[in-house]
Amino acid sequence: MERFEYIKEKINRFGQGHLLSFYNVLNPKEKEALINQINEIDFEDIEIASSQLSIPLNNKREIVPIEYESVLSLTDSKRKMYEEHGLKLLKEKKVAVVLIAGGQGTRLGHDGPKGTVSIGVSSNQSLFALQAERLQKIEEKTKSIIPWYIMTSPINELETKKFFKDNDYFNCNPRQIFFFKQELIPTLTTNGKIILESKSKISMAPNGNGGVFASMKSSGILKDLKMKGIKWVFFNNIDNALVQVADPLFIGFADKKGTEVSSKSVKKREPGEKVGVFCLSEGKPSVIEYSEMSKEESEGEKFTNANIGIHLFQLSFLEKTMDVKLPYHFAHKVIPSVNELGQTIRSIEPNGYKLEKFYFDIFQYAENMSVLQVIRENEFAPVKNRIGLDSLETARKMILQNNKRDKF
């Protein structure tokens, strides 16, 4: 009873007393589960997030394009120098890879983790298999094993681990692969109240790719990287079918530039392409999403250096910023909830917000940053949709075209 009274007082203090609205009609097991769920929520963090809901989009910030180097401008000697230096760092076991793979393949018409989706190029090859194959090619070149850290989420963790086991870890050494979980955060109504999914359960959602840093710390990944003597951590998302995992040229480029953070980019396909762009915001390295830019900014000719979710972080930078609180971004979604009678309702229109952190928001804390613009057709085939633009079909075509070019 003491624990219950403490929880009740706590949620009332933060204006979330409705979470116990149906407590008296729950069975003992449901009561315990709800109390445990409430106990794990950082209500101070939720209060900060909900206060941001009323803050209007700031389009008056000073943003300017960021400097970058294009692979097309590299001389043969410079390209060779970057690549050889990157291979040297890989041979010295100074590089690890972090794959962000917490999402589901629902939008692709696939029931399961997005990484298990088949691209269908050969033998129903999955996105996980593609990345494992590219990692192994680098390992063959360098005669070394690259630590591979894979961030899952509570909704796909077990399926992802089973998929790797059932596929013999795609010929990787199981001891080089480390799984860790993304954290969940409650969803909010438009007025900042935590949403109840049912009488006994709070609606939770993954906290965005920016949650990777906190998860790396809480899971012991950061300590493990330091123990291994890692200098650079290569980050990428699961949904790029052409990502060049642990690309030696990119690693050499970043290390020679001596910056704390380095990113790959591509030129926007067209001015209105819905992608985030690299820039300097108030003089600090940033990526600004198209949805958070004015129409003039997002569709103009000034900001054309698109973020493709491929980054290198110096481990010393991650250690320095491990406790930084990243801001939340709000995704307006249809979220199942209960009404005052405890009946489940599913709105037709978006009725609440999923809170997401973006890992590029940590760029602003870097003393310096370098950007390498690469060729889209060689390195960026996003798998976002089932059909049409940026789909399984377009990714498959781009992979086949790349395979043909590699033969000549």
The yes-or-no verdict on residue 58 having pLDDT over 60 is: no
Q: pTM of the prediction?
A: 0.92
Rounded Cα–Cα distance for residues 176 and 96 (Å): 10
Q: Which residues pair with 234 in a beta bridge?
A: 97, 312
Query: Could you tell me if 129 and 167 are in contact, meaning their C-beta atoms sit under 8 angstroms apart?
Result: yes
From residue 173, alpha-carbon distances to 54, 228, 298 in Å are: 49, 17, 44
Strands (DSSP E) contained in 172-298 are: 177-181, 184-186, 188-189, 196-198, 201-202, 204-206, 232-237, 261-267, 277-281, 284-288
Amino acid 406: pLDDT: 56
Which has the closest alpha carbon to 45: 184, 153, 199?
A: 184
How would residue 408 be classed by pLDDT, with cut points 50, 70 and 90? very low
Amino acid 295: pLDDT: 81
From residue 28, alpha-carbon distances to 24, 338, 402 in Å are: 10, 20, 58
Query: Could you tell me if 264 and 44 are in contact, meaning their C-beta atoms sit under 8 angstroms apart?
Result: no
pLDDT tens by residue, 266-301 = 999 988 888 999 999 999 999 988 877 888 888 888
Q: Which residues pair with 355 in a beta bridge?
A: 330
Rounded Cα–Cα distance for residues 275 and 268 (Å): 8
At 89, which amino acid appears? L
DSSP string of 280-308, one letter each residue: EETTEEEEE-GGGS-HHHHHSSS--EEEE
> For the chain, which residues make up each domain, given as ranges?
61-406
Query: Could you tell me if 244 and 376 are in contact, meaning their C-beta atoms sit under 8 angstroms apart?
Result: no
Lowest mean pLDDT among 69-78, 138-147, 204-213: 204-213
**How far does CA 32 lie from the centroid of its chain?**
32
Residue 29 backbone phi and psi in degrees, to 5: -65, -40
Amino acid 59: pLDDT: 54
Residue located via tokens 């979710």 = 309
344: Cβ contacts below 8 Å, ≥ 6 apart: 198, 336, 337, 338
DSSP string of 73-113, one letter each residue: G--HHHHHHHHHHHHHHHHTT-EEEEEE---B-GGGT-SSB
Query: Could you tell me if 240 and 309 are in contact, meaning their C-beta atoms sit under 8 angstroms apart?
Result: yes
- Which strands make up the sheet holding 188-189, listed edge to edge? 188-189, 352-356, 329-333
Rounded Cα–Cα distance for residues 23 and 37 (Å): 13
How would residue 405 be classed by pLDDT, with cut points 50, 70 and 90? low
Q: Which CATH code fits 61-406?
A: 3.90.550.10
Amino acid 289: pLDDT: 85
* Positive/negative CA dihedral, 326, 211, 103, 267: positive
pLDDT cut 70: percent of the chain above it: 96
Q: DSSP label at 222?
A: H
Q: DSSP label at 352?
A: E
The yes-or-no verdict on residue 404 having pLDDT over 90 is: no
Which has the closest alpha carbon to 151: 203, 250, 222?
A: 222
Please provide the average confidence, as pLDDT, over all residues in the chain.
92
Rounded Cα–Cα distance for residues 131 and 114 (Å): 13
Q: Which residues pair with 100 in a beta bridge?
A: 151, 237
